[in-house]
Amino acid sequence: MPIQNRQIEAAALFVSGQWRYRRSVEDRFKLAVVVDDDPDIALAARLALRDMFERVETLPSPAELLPLVESERPDAILLDLNFQRAATDGSEGLDYLGRIMAVDPDAAVVIITAHGAVSIAVQAIKKGASDFVAKPWSNERLAATVRSAAALRRSRIEAKVERGRATELAPSSGTPLLGDSEAMKRVRTLIDRAAPTDANVLVLGENGTGKEIVAREIHRLSRRSAEPLVSVDLGATAESLFESELFGHVKGAFTGAAGDRMGRLKAADHSTLFLDEIGNLPLHLQPKLLTALEQREVVPVGANKPVPIDVRVVAATNMSADQLADEKRFRQDLLFRLNTIEIALPPLRERREDVPVLLDHYLGLYARKYDKPERALPTAVLEALVRHDWPGNVRALRHAAERAVIMAEGQAYRIEDFPLPSRSSTPLAIASETLNLDQLEKQMIERALRMHHFNVSLAASELGLSRGALYRRMEKHGL
């Protein structure tokens, strides 16, 4: 029996049930294209793949393929290398492979090659092909190869989408790292030395000191800057979602997991992952993050196969070094993995000489944003602002400058234009006779919210909490 007939018969058996590839309708890929000038080979491939794809198109020439690739972006392409009579060098197929990859860089192309022409197939893989199958093929091998290629294409596209989504969730801040104080000069020196390496960096500092700005600056100056920074605010992530957010999950891993989802560690592949509020990571998940960083691979929730990653981590926390050293709060082996380089950001009250620079920047920025006139900042007002302790640090100063720009009248700013709820460094006091911790916490939160006119960001800074942590406490107390 000729090879072609045996191939068709094998494909018929394959789809009739002996080797049938069973997948649910929603898991099927949309389109596969088989390009071979031998109609028997094309038919055999179509029969073998039709249960895996909603459509399987067959074409006798690659010339007809390019418009289809441009308009429909097939999930998989099965491409023969030789189309002219007596041709065996594969040059025509390799040429079209290059054209396909130029149109769709994520194309999943599986090369069809004659037995013994493996060297040509290797050339094709170097040019962008995902894999190859040799004629006559095993239908099981063909199905597995094409499915892997289509799944790889899907994961590439999902990675791009997830990176874009992650970047949107943590929008880029155009705020520069401002300040000419000696403390900020030391910070810049550490950034310049650490950024070009792949060393993990831990940024310490109170809320509002600019930890995210440092992370973005490290990424901008790194060798990974061509890829977007992927940011995760662990302080605003529900504990039940930590594992899925970081490691991803597969369909059916838990109630509500309607499909596979790529985790942020994989989304940051070949880039930088910024883990904000790393101190909020629960103890039971810290070993999993440590394992992922040490072995450079993640296992999505519900999966049993690891996925390789190449990630540089910049982590940040408002916890002090002493708090991080408490093994009941943070694993020391994970800490050692994260703080290869440690950068401590000083609070604004310890670098008051930077306040004029910051005010000049933000007052000008918001005047342009809101189309307001430039106003003078009298010396007495500036001195009062420099003396202020700024418990919310740079973030609080930025909000104060924004409000002043919006509310000010006349040709000069007044101290009343700036919302300064506390003129001294005296801690927030609460007049209460109760010693019940829950009631005291609720009273403190209510007072901070009223003091800052229910601006959650400023209230969180006043309380030394992240926005996410304050939201959770507000929900707890029915606020």
Residue carrying the six token digits 């950068």: 343
Q: CB–CB of 248/261 below 8 Å?
A: yes
pLDDT at 211: 94
pLDDT at 421: 61
CATH value of 170-346 in 1.20.1260.10, 3.30.565.10, 3.40.50.300, 3.50.50.60: 3.40.50.300
Ramachandran assignment for 252, one of left (phi > 0), alpha (psi -120 to 50 degrees), beta (any other): left
Report d(CA 106, CA 130) in Å as an integer: 10
User: Which architecture, in CATH terms, is 350-426?
Assistant: Orthogonal Bundle (1.10)
Report d(CA 32, CA 422) in Å as an integer: 66
Q: Kindly state the helix (H) or strand (E) to which residue 249 belongs, with its residue range.
A: strand 248-249
Report d(CA 211, CA 213) in Å as an integer: 5
Fold of 427-479: Arc Repressor Mutant, subunit A (1.10.10)
Residue carrying the six token digits 């649910």: 24
Tokens of 141: 């091998």
Report d(CA 176, CA 377) in Å as an integer: 22
- The Cβ-side half-sphere exposure at 5, using a 13 Å CA radius, reads 2
Q: What does pLDDT average to in each consecutive run of 10 residues of the chain (479 residues)? A: 51 44 56 89 88 90 87 91 74 87 89 73 83 84 88 77 52 69 94 94 93 94 92 81 85 75 89 92 90 91 88 93 88 93 94 95 94 93 93 91 93 91 45 66 82 74 80 78
Residue 227 CB contacts under 8 Å (≥ 6 apart), including other chains? 163, 268, 270, 271, 272
pLDDT at 366: 94
State the span(s) of the chain assigned CATH 3.40.50.2300. 3-157
State the span(s) of the chain assigned CATH 1.10.10.60. 427-479
Q: In 174-230, which residue ranges form alpha helices assigned H by DSSP?
A: 182-194, 211-220
Q: What is the DSSP string of 313-371?
A: EEEEESS-HHHHT-TTTS-HHHHHHH-SEEEEPPPGGG-GGGHHHHHHHHHHHHHHHTT
CA proximity to 248, closest of 297, 284, 293: 297
pLDDT at 21: 40
Q: CB–CB of 181/350 below 8 Å?
A: no
pLDDT at 26: 41
Residue carrying the six token digits 């597969």: 250
pLDDT at 217: 94
| CATH code at 3-157 | 3.40.50.2300
pLDDT at 365: 93
State the span(s) of the chain assigned CATH 3.40.50.300. 170-346
3-state DSSP percent of the chain in helix, strand and coil, to 5: 50, 15, 35
* Residue 98: Cβ within 10 Å count: 12
Tokens of 476: 């707890």
Q: Reduced to 3 states, what is the DSSP secondary structure of residue 113?
A: strand
pLDDT at 357: 95
pLDDT at 275: 94
Residue carrying the six token digits 């080979």: 41
Report d(CA 159, CA 96) in Å as an integer: 26
Beta pairing partners, 308: 297
pLDDT at 467: 75
Report d(CA 310, CA 121) in Å as an integer: 28
> Strand 29-35 and strand 76-80: pairing?
parallel
For residue 286, give Cα distances in angstroms to 29, 126, 248, 338.
36, 39, 16, 11
CA 369 to chain centre: 29
